[in-house]
Structure 1
Amino acid sequence: MTSLAPAFTGDIAACTAPDLSFLLDHTSHVLRTRMAAALAEIGMTARMHCVLVKALEEERTQIQIAELGDMDKTTMVVTVDALEQAGLAERRPSATDRRARIIAVTEAGAEMAKRSQAIVDGVHAEAIGALPEALRSALLEGLTLLARGHLAEPVESPVGARRARQA
């Protein structure tokens, strides 16, 4: 297996390896915009979809869902407020810890989660379907290995890396 990173020769213009950071950032951004547009057609956002799906999987608190969905506290509160206003979810005391509040999905929310999951699956299938069939499983396997292995956790940096801007 050959390395994607060429040996540095002192001539930055001589680097011919693909810019992995750009490729991942760009494709991720475009995928998010496509997802946002598709979910907007049913009045949903990717965050709303995430909260509904994670809340349907098992009893979870706002904090637990925020961690799973990589959302800060303020974003999570705003998202759950929107779901409550739409009648798709509600905050309830936990069955196991009365001090904790869980996100309970309503019947309408469960139906919306099915619709939004079909949209998410379709956007993903369309993206993967744009590749030659022989590359599809290799891409997914490689990204999964990176996400669960070498790139599973961010590293501390004194400068701090900015996350990609989200629309």
Structure 2
Amino acid sequence: MPTDDDVRRQQKPHPGVQIDEAPLGSLLLQTVRAHAALATSLLAELGLAVPQEVVLLYLQDHGRVPQSELVRFMGRDRSTVTATLQTMERAGLVERTPSKTDRRSMDVDLTETGHALCPRVRAAWAELERLTFGPLDQRQRDDLASALGAARDAARTHVTEKGDQP
């Protein structure tokens, strides 16, 4: 007898919402959701959940950092980042230690296990890139990167002008 998971796998994914007044925005949202679902699947194979992979790669690139820097980098509230780091700490991927310069703050660093996982995380991101953008030729990739960068910058500018955090 088929399970609910079997039935869901056989169904076509929902196409998403098409908003006539915002055709690009609604298509972008559909694309982001499909990309995120694929990323979630690839990361689950590594035993990770979003955004744990980004934390690993940031720490690999920057070394030990104050936890407040990760909060700023991730653009999430402190309690959400703390919960993510606690989960990663229990999994043996990161270690949090009291700061040597500020007793009120914690520093975060990769463990050996976290370091060892980083090449596999980068490979998963490369696979995500291949699966998502493989059908595009180089010119299309360049045009898409330029267009997405301009759209991102425009949105950030408007958020900044409103006085909110980008």
**84, 92, 102: which one aligns with 1:87:** 92
Kindly report structure 1 stretches of 4+ aligned residues shifted beyond 3 Å.
none
- CA separation in 2, counterparts of 1:116 and 1:45? 11
Match runs of 1:15-164 below 5 Å: 19-58=23-62, 59-95=64-100, 97-99=101-103, 100-147=105-152, 149-153=153-157, 154=159, 156=162
Give how far 1:17 is off: 8.1
**What letter corresponds to residue 127 of structure 1 in structure 2?**
T
TM-score norm. by structure 1 comes to 0.74
Closer/same/farther in 2, CA of residues 116 and 77 from structure 1, 3 Å limit:
same
Report SS of the residue matched to 2:156.
Answer: coil
Report SS of the residue matched to 2:154.
Answer: coil
CA-atom RMSD in angstroms? 2.5
Aligned equivalent of 1:6: none
Deviations 1:116-151 (A, max 9, x none): 12101210222111224431111012212332x312
Give how far 1:18 is off: 6.6
- CA separation in 2, counterparts of 1:50 and 1:69? 9
Contact 1:94–1:101 (CA<8 Å) still a contact in 2? yes
Unaligned runs of 5+ in 1: 1-15, 161-167
The percentage of counterpart residues that share the same residue type is 23
- CA separation in 2, counterparts of 1:33 and 1:152? 25
Give how far 1:33 is off: 0.7
Aligned length: 142
- CA separation in 2, counterparts of 1:125 and 1:71? 28
> Which has the larger share of helix?
2
Closer/same/farther in 2, CA of residues 64 and 84 from structure 1, 3 Å limit:
same
